[in-house]
């Protein structure tokens, strides 16, 4: 099956039994759990849109490995145009779900592992690249969701993996066997892990020789023996368990983060893509992070479109949409949002092939993209809250709106412009609340800050890639400063 439908995806998840914990208890039916299901719906949108003819060019492409039509979320980028289409696809999905749809981490993992395994093989005469490509064919042919698992718990951030008091704070190889390896550790902030069919593990920092056992990359089925999942809480998450879902703000979709625990999990050699080649850990981290920093130029712009739309609608319900300062604020929101997108497109258009043939984004522009993402959604959210007004945080619950005693009063007194229903205003305010301080703010704000690396990580990369010597030389030429006359004699 090359292109799963949404229903195929849901059915496939039902058939995968995983050990998922939430509120201290093991969840039996995670597919239908009210806190988890919205995140599954968001991921399912990547399947649903792939069957819509109007999105076929963005959501699907031809595999570079088999020539068959595949979902773009399983593709190795073959051109700058592919990279641009990826960002456009992500913006579209952000617009359709208003949240994190999770599947990009696997896509970014595939592309990073592909080029790095090729380079490891050149250096060490290993066969990781061929193994990885065989694995990816399986993913493409079955149209699977893969969790790209990078972030380890890290313990004391001043210490390397091998220096930690507890040796399991980074995922490590605890035993090598003739048929495979045994791994132990955990990965945190795992986007969409529970909604995935597979987990692709990568190291999280650049490593040295002492960390050799931690320099490991591999893939395993998401229900492999020894794996536990613990669901991450989100602000206002229990609203999803209420009978009426208006107060959730985004009742159908949501993101998902989880902790994955690997309790001595066995990985056969054919699914191991790095094992001890520590000098390539830096390249793998840098490329995965670079691809995901590009991704944010798409998904966050799509979510921004939803928030801008909500702010415009609320302004209309308030009767303020023609007031000049409101119009200016909407323009400011659009300007910031399009700037995010522009960087996502720019780093894609400047993409170049790696030695394996897979295209890599321009790393400088991808890091600039992400550094903007750590700031601009916060300003867009501030403007959205400004336009929404105080009712954003004082609105009574939907149960009160439904109450026979006080409901009629609320519908009378909390109405804005007479032509619009109070309930529409109520829903739109809840959506802005969701995106700027509720469960949706996990993806729109905090993930913008810390996902794909916190701001300092982008600053370091920008400083490293900037070639300041060259810029200084340019200035000297213009200012007619000769190198030899620069130093005082």
Residue with Cβ nearer ligand SF4 (55 or 296): 296
Catalytic entry in 119, 198, 433, 447: 447
Residues near ligand SF4 (CB under 6 A):
90, 100-102, 104-105, 191, 292, 295-296, 299, 443, 447, 451
The span from the CA of 28 to the CA of 9, in Å, is: 18
Question: Whose Cβ is closer to ligand SF4: residue 174's or residue 259's?
Answer: 259
Is position 335 annotated as part of the catalytic site? no
Output the CA torsion sign for 474, 480, 485, 486. Answer: negative
Measured from the CB atom, is 88 or 129 closer to ligand SF4?
88
Shortest Cβ distance from residue 348 to ligand SF4 (Å)? Answer: 13
Q: How far is the CB of 353 from ligand SF4 (least distance, A)?
A: 23
Question: Minimal distance in Å, beta carbon 151 to ligand SF4?
Answer: 12
Site of tokens 């692709």:
200
Question: Are the beta carbons of 114 and 202 closer than 8 angstroms?
Answer: no
Do the bridges between strand 272-275 and strand 146-149 make them parallel or antiparallel, or are there none, so unpaired? unpaired
DSSP 107-130: HHHHHHHHHHHHHHHHHH---HHH
Out of 278, 296, 359, 444, the active site residue is: 296
Catalytic position from the list 99, 299, 343, 347: 299
CA-nearest of 309, 383, 305, 367 to 338 is: 305
158 catalytic? Reply is no
| Residue in 118, 292, 354, 358 annotated catalytic | 292
- How far apart are CB 443 and ligand SF4 at their closest, in Å? 6
Q: What gap in Å lies between CA 308 and CA 275, rounded to an integer? A: 46
Inter-residue contact 280 to 231 (CB < 8 Å): no
Residue 175 among the catalytic residues: no
- Of the residues 100, 236, 347, 369, which is catalytic? 100
| Cα–Cα distance for residue pair 312/407, rounded to 1 Å | 26
What gap in Å lies between CA 158 and CA 156, rounded to an integer? Answer: 5
**Residue (109 or 384) nearer to ligand SF4, CB:** 109
Cα–Cα distance measured from residue 298 to residue 481, given in angstroms and rounded to the nearest whole number: 43
Select which of 257, 277, 286, 433 is catalytic.
257
In the residue annotation, 104 being an active-site residue is answered as yes
- 213 vs 348, beta carbon nearer ligand SF4: 348
Is 299 one of the catalytic residues? yes
37/292 with CB nearer ligand SF4: 292
Active-site residue flag, 242:
no
Q: What is the chain's percent helix, strand, coil content, to nearest 5?
A: 55, 15, 30
Query: Which single residue is written with the structure tokens 């916060």?
Result: 378
State the Cα–Cα distance between residues 295 and 370, nearest whole angstrom: 9
Instruction: Collect all residues with Cβ–Cβ distance below 8 Å to 234 and sequence separation of at least 6.
Output: 254, 255, 257, 438, 439, 442
Cβ-based nearer residue to ligand SF4, 105 or 188: 105
HEC per residue, 469-488: HHHHHHHHHHHCCCHHHHCC
Which member of 99, 104, 236, 343 is catalytic? 104
Least distance (Å) between residue 239 CB and ligand SF4: 21
Q: Is there a catalytic annotation at residue 204? A: no
| Least CB distance to ligand SF4 at residue 257 (A) | 10
* Nearest distance in Å: CB 4, ligand SF4: 18
The token duo for 50 is: 């792939």
Is the Cβ of residue 246 or residue 303 nearer to ligand SF4 in the bound state?
Answer: 303
Dihedral of CA atoms 253, 254, 255, 260 in degrees, nearest 10, equals: -100
- The nearest distance, CB 335 to ligand SF4, in angstroms, is 21
Residue 209: active-site member: no
Active site residues: 100, 104, 191, 257, 292, 296, 299, 447
């Amino acid at each position: 099956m090359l292109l799963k439908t949404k229903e195929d995806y849901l059915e496939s998840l039902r058939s995968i039994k995983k050990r998922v914990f939430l509120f201290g208890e093991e969840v039996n039916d995670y597919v239908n759990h009210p806190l988890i299901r919205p995140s599954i719906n968001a991921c399912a949108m990547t399947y649903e849109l792939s069957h819509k003819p109007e999105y076929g060019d963005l959501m699907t492409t031809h595999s570079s490995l088999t020539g068959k039509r595949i979902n773009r979320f399983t593709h190795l980028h073959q051109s700058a145009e592919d990279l641009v289409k990826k960002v456009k696809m992500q913006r579209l999905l952000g617009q359709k779900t208003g949240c994190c749809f999770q599947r990009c981490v696997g896509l970014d993992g595939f592309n990073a592992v592909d080029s790095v395994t090729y380079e490891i093989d050149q250096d060490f005469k290993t066969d990781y690249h061929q193994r990885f490509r065989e694995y990816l064919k399986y993913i493409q042919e079955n149209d699977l969701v893969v969790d790209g698992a990078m972030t380890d718990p890290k313990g004391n951030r001043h210490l390397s993996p091998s220096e930690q008091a507890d040796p399991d704070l980074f995922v490590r190889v605890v035993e090598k066997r003739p048929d495979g390896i045994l791994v132990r550790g955990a990965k945190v902030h795992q986007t969409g892990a529970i909604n995935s069919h597979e987990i692709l593990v990568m190291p999280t920092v650049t490593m040295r020789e002492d960390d050799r056992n931690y320099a490991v990359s591999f893939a395993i089925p998401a229900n492999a023996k020894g794996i536990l999942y613990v669901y991450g809480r989100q602000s206002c998450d229990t609203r999803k368990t209420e009978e009426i879902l208006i107060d959730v703000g985004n009742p159908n979709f949501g993101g998902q983060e989880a902790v994955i625990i690997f309790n001595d999990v066995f990985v056969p050699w054919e699914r191991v893509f790095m094992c001890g080649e520590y000098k390539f850990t830096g390249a793998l981290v840098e490329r995965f992070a670079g691809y995901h920093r590009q991704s944010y130029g798409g998904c966050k712009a799509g979510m921004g479109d939803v928030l801008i739309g909500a702010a415009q609608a609320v302004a209309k319900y308030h009767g303020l949409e023609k007031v000049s300062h409101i119009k200016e604020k909407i323009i400011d929101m659009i300007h910031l949002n399009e700037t995010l997108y522009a960087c996502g497109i720019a780093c894609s258009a400047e993409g170049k092939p790696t030695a394996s043939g897979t295209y890599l984004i321009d790393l400088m522009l991808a890091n600039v993209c992400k550094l903007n993402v750590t700031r601009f959604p916060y300003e867009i959210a501030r403007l959205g809250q400004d336009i929404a007004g105080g009712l954003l945080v004082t609105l009574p619950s939907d149960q009160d709106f439904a109450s026979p005693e006080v409901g009629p009063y609320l519908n009378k007194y909390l109405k804005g412009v007479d032509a619009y229903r109070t309930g529409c205003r109520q829903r739109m305010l809840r959506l802005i609340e969701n995106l700027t301080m509720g469960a949706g703010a996990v993806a729109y704000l905090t993930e913008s800050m810390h996902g794909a690396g916190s701001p300092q990580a982008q600053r370091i990369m920008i400083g490293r890639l900037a070639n300041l010597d060259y810029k200084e030389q340019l200035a000297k030429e213009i200012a007619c400063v000769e190198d030899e006359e620069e130093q005082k004699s």
